[in-house]
A and B are shown apart, each in its own frame.
Chain A
């Protein structure tokens, strides 16, 4: 705490003052260090693993065994790797949507709900138009999924722009609404009559399912997600729209004076954000589960927040972190075989985010030698 006094009272370089009066070095806050070093994410992940290791050890397990088990489960076998990639697809799509919104400081945490309504809309196509030929069926599901997710995003954007409601609260409340709506359709009108009374829609036909790679579960959504990443990069980097987003992100007041319509940008950004999450939901039902059921998303929407933040909104970083977190989810499932709950991966995610935001700020302090 004393470093603040040191930087506050004494101008750096002019008056020499030690923090405690005895140490041969002092910490100094340097607000000009806005770019954080590239290695902070790695340190954050390491420290988070260390912290959780303490909890695992306290629970009577060997943390090394647990982490090795998680790692092997996620990356050790070809099955593990494809599963990790399968999980990385929705993370990448949702993370991309979240990253677009975060560019202009719109904190969308509603990707979970947007994904859910996207999955529901795609399933609606299979229920109400059951006999469409393959291509048209998939295309219609895609359009419905994206439109539903975008609509859910709009429900967050309009209260923010026109009524000044904090988007964090709206988007989160809408997550619960979407999950309850999902419960309603899978237990009610869309329940499979031949499903032995299990909640869930009827299985999709081959025409309603995304093509997969060989005999694995890895589906074509991966290519969709990668294409989306490339488009994101090009749009942000080379278009006027991307320039305006960067300008709003850097200085909203200056952007407003420059005549940029911020509310309109918030709406556009939330439509894109929701649409991408809706696409992720469509890809999940059509490519992975092949039917609508409870728990189609094990918290992808929330994990994607960390994915976007860890990647620092960088497109290549998004690809890397979504694969990493896909692995974390698969690893979380694989430790269940040795009697640990899969929530261990959720705990790790929270810890990583803690250390990450702390690390970003700690990196702005520098150590000065001498008294």
Chain B
């Protein structure tokens, strides 16, 4: 395999957790709720997967655990920001702090233990003769395929169905949606919970593919990169795919250059994704300075029926 193909495979592997988390973030923010707890949710998803997988050796149960735990945390965030109208920024920060502390606490007993298995891969042997596509798509794991499917489903859902219309209406103008008979609170609760579940799945994917063992704080800011990617992708699932793989490639490029014996110290290579996130967001801000950014209009504003602003 040549370098480019290898890099593409690595970009997809490293990009899949970012993609899942970004999709979760997009659902949250399209409904008008800021989700800054992605880092904590990913850690909680990762640690619950590890614990259940090591205890039961059942991958399905492990994935279910990660989704279940993060759904509960998503409900907490929804309750705080929708019902209590609390500060969504602070609620997200609390989620991240609690998630990183609680996951370290829970994961102490299994820290460093190898997981009993990996994600099953789909071997599509009929693709093998095709030069670039064969090696890349012939051997991907199920969560990656799930993420592909999710991109398509979410794209169609958001842009082509009445559910998506309701979702966008709730994020852009909840008062109008409410007048039109859309149940604002129910929809927000639903998407915040589902979004949190996707972010939890991202954490699960991270331990199952990138680093097959639990370590304290193993996401190392990937959750925050996903928060940035939501903006970078302009709340669009298809763009999210491209952006996530771009960052996946950056991530693995640093690692690969280290393997090839590059003269640059590895610490600087590891900085690349963080610095690029900032630079890209600055570029987008500069380019879109006189244009609407695509942000859901009511993002972060609690909706109170009959309240005038």
* A183 CA to B269 CA, complexed, in Å: 12
The residue from B102, B231, B305 contacting A166, defined by CB atoms under 8 A apart: B231
Would A184 and B104 count as touching, CB distance under 8 A? no
How many chain-B residues does the 8 Å CB contact rule pick out?
Answer: 54
Would B267 and A360 count as touching, CB distance under 8 A? no
Number of inter-chain CB pairs below 8 Å: 153
Would A173 and B97 count as touching, CB distance under 8 A? no
Q: How close is A55's CB to chain B, nearest CB, in angstroms?
A: 7
Would B277 and A173 count as touching, CB distance under 8 A? yes
* A361 CA to B94 CA, complexed, in Å: 15
Interface-facing stretch out of B78-86, B150-158, B206-214:
B78-86
Please, which residues of chain A bring their CB within 8 A of the CB of B224? 169, 172-173
Would A344 and B97 count as touching, CB distance under 8 A? no
Q: Does A165 contact B (CB under 8 A)?
A: yes
Q: Does A159 contact B (CB under 8 A)?
A: yes
A180 touching B101 in the complex, CB below 8 Å, given contacts A309-B90, A354-B94: no
Q: Does B93 contact A (CB under 8 A)?
A: yes
Within 8 A of A (CB), among B287-309: 289, 293, 304-307
Would B86 and A176 count as touching, CB distance under 8 A? no
Q: How close is B274's CB to chain A, nearest CB, in angstroms?
A: 4
Q: How close is A281's CB to chain B, nearest CB, in angstroms?
A: 18
A170 touching B97 in the complex, CB below 8 Å, given contacts A164-B285, A343-B216: no
* A345 CA to B93 CA, complexed, in Å: 16
A172-196 vs B, Cβ < 8 Å mask (1 yes, 0 no): 1111110011011001100000000
Would A159 and B101 count as touching, CB distance under 8 A? no
Within 8 A of A (CB), among B74-118: 76, 80, 83-87, 89-91, 93-102, 104-105, 108
* A233 CA to B86 CA, complexed, in Å: 27
Would B285 and A183 count as touching, CB distance under 8 A? no
* A4 CA to B108 CA, complexed, in Å: 42
Q: Which residue of B lies closest to A183 (CB)?
A: B267
Q: Does A20 contact B (CB under 8 A)?
A: no
Q: Which residue of A lies closest to B228 (CB)?
A: A169
The residue from A5, A176, A346 contacting B274, defined by CB atoms under 8 A apart: A176
Q: Does A100 contact B (CB under 8 A)?
A: no
Would B102 and A350 count as touching, CB distance under 8 A? yes
Q: Which residue of B lies closest to A8 (CB)?
A: B305
Dominant secondary structure of chain B at its interface with chain A: helix
* A173 CA to B40 CA, complexed, in Å: 15
Please, which residues of chain A bring their CB within 8 A of the CB of B101? 343-350
B230-273 vs A, Cβ < 8 Å mask (1 yes, 0 no): 01000000000000000000000000000000000101101100
Would B185 and A180 count as touching, CB distance under 8 A? no
Would B221 and A354 count as touching, CB distance under 8 A? no
Which of A109, A165, A174, A351 neighbours the largest number of chain B CB atoms within 10 Å of its CB?
A165
Q: How close is A111's CB to chain B, nearest CB, in angstroms?
A: 12
Please, which residues of chain A bring their CB within 8 A of the CB of B83? 1, 4
Would B86 and A358 count as touching, CB distance under 8 A? yes
Q: Does A88 contact B (CB under 8 A)?
A: no
Q: Does B286 contact A (CB under 8 A)?
A: yes
* A166 CA to B40 CA, complexed, in Å: 19
Please, which residues of chain B bring their CB within 8 A of the CB of A353? 90, 93-94, 97-98
A1-16 vs B, Cβ < 8 Å mask (1 yes, 0 no): 1001100110000000
A159 touching B80 in the complex, CB below 8 Å, given contacts A109-B93, A183-B267, A341-B104: no
A149-170 vs B, Cβ < 8 Å mask (1 yes, 0 no): 0000000000100011110111
Please, which residues of chain B bring their CB within 8 A of the CB of A350? 40, 94-102
The residue from A165, A168, A176 contacting B89, defined by CB atoms under 8 A apart: A168
Please, which residues of chain A bring their CB within 8 A of the CB of B98? 347, 349-351, 353-354
Q: Which residue of A lies closest to B83 (CB)?
A: A1
Q: Does A25 contact B (CB under 8 A)?
A: no
Q: Does B275 contact A (CB under 8 A)?
A: yes
Would B76 and A163 count as touching, CB distance under 8 A? no
Please, which residues of chain B bring their CB within 8 A of the CB of A346? 97, 100-101, 104-105
Please, which residues of chain B bring their CB within 8 A of the CB of A29? 304
Would B278 and A354 count as touching, CB distance under 8 A? no
Would A165 and B285 count as touching, CB distance under 8 A? yes
* A31 CA to B101 CA, complexed, in Å: 34
A8 touching B306 in the complex, CB below 8 Å, given contacts A343-B108, A357-B91: yes
Q: Does B36 contact A (CB under 8 A)?
A: yes
Which of B76, B105, B225, B231 neighbours the largest number of chain A CB atoms within 10 Å of its CB?
B105
User: Which residue numbers of A lie inside 8 Å of B, CB to CB?
Assistant: 1, 4-5, 8-9, 29, 31, 55, 59, 107, 109, 159, 163-166, 168-170, 172-177, 180-181, 183-184, 187-188, 302, 305-306, 309, 341, 343-351, 353-354, 357-358, 360-362
The 6 nearest A-B residue pairs measured at CB: A350-B98, A346-B101, A163-B285, A343-B104, A347-B101, A350-B97
Given contacts A9-B306, A349-B97, 14 further A-B contacts (CB under 8 A): A31-B304, A163-B286, A164-B293, A173-B224, A173-B275, A174-B278, A177-B275, A184-B267, A305-B97, A343-B102, A343-B104, A343-B105, A357-B90, A357-B94
Pairs A–B under 8 Å by Cβ, sample size 24: A55-B102, A159-B282, A163-B285, A166-B231, A169-B227, A173-B277, A177-B271, A181-B267, A187-B267, A188-B265, A341-B105, A343-B108, A344-B101, A346-B101, A347-B101, A348-B101, A350-B102, A353-B94, A354-B80, A354-B91, A357-B86, A357-B90, A357-B94, A362-B84
